[in-house]
Amino acid sequence: MTDADIAGATPNDQPGFALGGAPGPAAAAGGSPPGYRVLARKYRPSTFDDLIGQEAMVRTISNSFETGRVPQAWILTGVRGVGKTTTARILARALNYELPDGSVKGPTIHMPKMGVHCQAIMESRHIDILEMDAASHTGIDDVRQITDGVRYAPSSARYKVYIIDEVHMLSEKAFNAFLKTLEEPPEHAKFVFATTEIRKVPVTVLSRCQRFDLRRVDADVLMAHLANISGKEGVEAEPEALGLIARAAEGSVRDSLSLLDQAIAHAAGAVRAEDVRQMLGLADRSRVIDLFASLASGDIAAAFKEFRDQYDTGADPVVVLSDLAEFVNFVTRVKVVPATADNLALGETERTRGRDFAAKLSMRVLSRMWQMLLKGIAEVQSATRPQAAAEMVLVRIAYVADLPTPDEAIRMIEQGGGMSPALGGNNGGNGAPRGTSASLLSGGDEGSQLRAVGSSARPALDTSPRPQMNTPAPAPVEAAPVRRLNTFAELVALAGEKRDLQIKSALEADVRLVRMEDGKLEIALERSAARSMIQDLSRKLEQWTGRRWAVVVSNDAGQPTLRAQAQAAKVKLTDGVHADPRVQAVMSRFPGAQVVDVRRIAPDAALGADDAGPVAAAEEDDDL
């Protein structure tokens, strides 16, 4: 059988098959029209230029071909549908590319037109290109057939190429039988392995292969590829619909083409975003964002209505929660990397509102929503009534997203301090957790936004025993007299007067004053400050002054702490003493002497300094 016979042969299951959608030999000869081919096969790449999203691999192979450094084996890994088997066939074609005039003398990635062996290689029917599915040929006998036949030279091509798909399915004995041949194959033999489970391939095999990790194709690149194919097929497709397909494919080109094929059949005409959502069981992206906004603002009634509307239109509760989790992840990524919102594969509404939410919501709120959604999705999947389970997940998110952490709650209870409004358990019957709206959408992260914590504190729960019926009621406790504080020094002095050494020490060492007026204190905190510092200070101020104070944390630098100011003053005083000529004279008289401390002498002690001497005068007052 000649090469022309091989090139003209057409398998029964592929009538008239040709690359790029062109009519095959049977159709050109006036035979029966070719059968329909799905888009994933019709637009399968035939050259390296047709591959999308794999530029690093193409550049490496191109350089190795140009320099003559062609390895004996490659292993291609990646998720399903990124083009591992197709790349293996293109690689086999490049190794054996040959024109009828004999102008190409070696492997090349530049294949502008079909060569002598190209058609048969791409259709998997070339006698020197052997493809084996390791999932169905796992034993040592299958590998032994390869190792026995590899010694024979190719019949017509330049190289014998063995393509083994899903190579990780081979047994341990089969891998061991491969090792010697794989390490020292004949010059005319090349191996190309493909796998989705690279960790299951023995290291001894990996070390003998040149490895390429085929990356997932970015959604925007995949979207442009789908738009190009839609144009070739003469199908009108909305960009938003193509974006939905690209995201649903998760970087798999084959999956995206299969979904596009399905969308064309589903729409029976132009591919609209609404048709794609119905086909995939997705909710409208803008409606998912509206649901997210309702949860973030604590409006459970609106969240229930939006979820019920989506459910009534056919949206799966699991898909709704999954889309919600995806949007939470998107907002979090925008908060960390704002350039994430520039992805054109996302809708304008999603990008704009994502930036807005990223600026308003704190990282703590977003991370809690994410964790609760992950747990909730698993619950809904296993629930007998998914719709009811999903509604309960929404309730938990709205009510619990702004709760303090367990250690913060325990600390507040132990210290008899206030608790967050969400802990009160009473929402006033309006269907929304009290205080949630103001806290979740207050704007910014905990470390950068101004948080009015003190104004929302509640008194501790009353756990004292109830009086008996015949026991007279205790006399009412008189409220603390109202006291005004105008300076930070007065606040520190008040803490000392109340003998609260913990608060006094924290005010001196951990607090940097930004500004202060009666009833409002704006401060910056040191890293050593306790997490409950704001709550404790707000509660103490209310007890000491008889009225509520707004204690807020600012991102301004503020003044140095009192302790830092005292240390700076002491250093300045010590430097001044070192510059005194009398001290310098004493230190020169006594080599090795050091100034250990500097003390200010009280006025009455200074009067007797001449009689008592400098040491006695210094000991009269220990104040710095």
Q: Architecture of domain 217-277 in CATH?
A: Orthogonal Bundle (1.10)
**Whole-number Å distance between alpha carbons of 428 and 188:** 82
Q: Where in the chain is the domain with CATH 3.30.300?
A: 488-559
**Whole-number Å distance between alpha carbons of 163 and 132:** 6
Mapped onto helix, strand or coil, the DSSP state of residue 521 is: strand
**Per-residue confidence (pLDDT) for residue 433, from 0 to 100:** 43
- Which residues, including other chains, have CB under 8 Å from residue 540's CB and lie 6 or more apart? 495, 498, 500, 503
Q: Where in the chain is the domain with CATH 1.20.272.10?
A: 281-419
**Per-residue confidence (pLDDT) for residue 621, from 0 to 100:** 39
Which two tokens mark 103?
């102008």
Cβ atoms 541, 510 nearer than 8 A: no
- Which residues, including other chains, have CB under 8 Å from residue 135's CB and lie 6 or more apart? 165, 166, 169
Number of H helices, E strands in the chain: 28, 8
Class of domain 44-213: alpha beta
CA 605 to chain centre: 68
Per DSSP bridges, beta strands 511-517 and 520-525 are: antiparallel
Note the pTM of the prediction, 2 decimals. Answer: 0.53
Helix pair 317-336, 386-400: axis angle to 10 deg: 30
Cβ atoms 555, 524 nearer than 8 A: yes
- 593, burial (CB in 10 Å: exposed 0-12, middle 13-18, buried 19+): exposed
Residues paired with residue 131 on neighbouring β-strands, in sequence order: 163
**Whole-number Å distance between alpha carbons of 85 and 89:** 6
**Per-residue confidence (pLDDT) for residue 555, from 0 to 100:** 75
Say which residue the tokens 């005004």 belong to: 484
**Whole-number Å distance between alpha carbons of 39 and 235:** 13
| Helix segments in 281-385, DSSP class H | 285-296, 300-312, 317-336, 348-360, 363-382
Helix pair 172-183, 140-149: axis angle to 10 deg: 20
**Per-residue confidence (pLDDT) for residue 163, from 0 to 100:** 92
**Per-residue confidence (pLDDT) for residue 7, from 0 to 100:** 37
Count of C-beta atoms within a 10 Å radius of residue 202 = 14
Say which residue the tokens 């929402």 belong to: 427
Class of domain 488-559: alpha beta
**Per-residue confidence (pLDDT) for residue 344, from 0 to 100:** 65
Cβ atoms 221, 53 nearer than 8 A: yes
Cβ atoms 391, 304 nearer than 8 A: yes
**Per-residue confidence (pLDDT) for residue 526, from 0 to 100:** 82
Q: Nearest to residue 293, comparing CAs of 342, 361, 346?
A: 361
**Whole-number Å distance between alpha carbons of 539 and 549:** 8
Per DSSP bridges, beta strands 73-77 and 129-133 are: unpaired
Mapped onto helix, strand or coil, the DSSP state of residue 379 is: helix
Which two tokens mark 132?
């084996």
Residues lower than pLDDT 70 in the chain? 1-35, 281-284, 344-345, 347, 401-409, 412, 414-481, 600-624
236-259: b (≥16 Cβ within 10 Å) or e: ebbebbbbbbbbbbebbbbbbbbb
Q: What are phi and psi of 522, to 5 degrees?
A: -115, 120
Residue type, 171: S
Which two tokens mark 362?
């704190």
Cβ atoms 370, 329 nearer than 8 A: yes
Say which residue the tokens 């899903």 belong to: 166
**Per-residue confidence (pLDDT) for residue 436, from 0 to 100:** 39
**Whole-number Å distance between alpha carbons of 167 and 200:** 9
**Per-residue confidence (pLDDT) for residue 251, from 0 to 100:** 84
Given the candidates 3.30.1440.10, 3.40.50.10880, 1.20.272.10, 1.10.540.10, the CATH classification of the domain at 281-419 is: 1.20.272.10
**Per-residue confidence (pLDDT) for residue 605, from 0 to 100:** 47
Count of C-beta atoms within a 10 Å radius of residue 586 = 13
**Whole-number Å distance between alpha carbons of 526 and 533:** 11
Q: Where in the chain is the domain with CATH 3.40.50.300?
A: 44-213
Residue type, 428: G
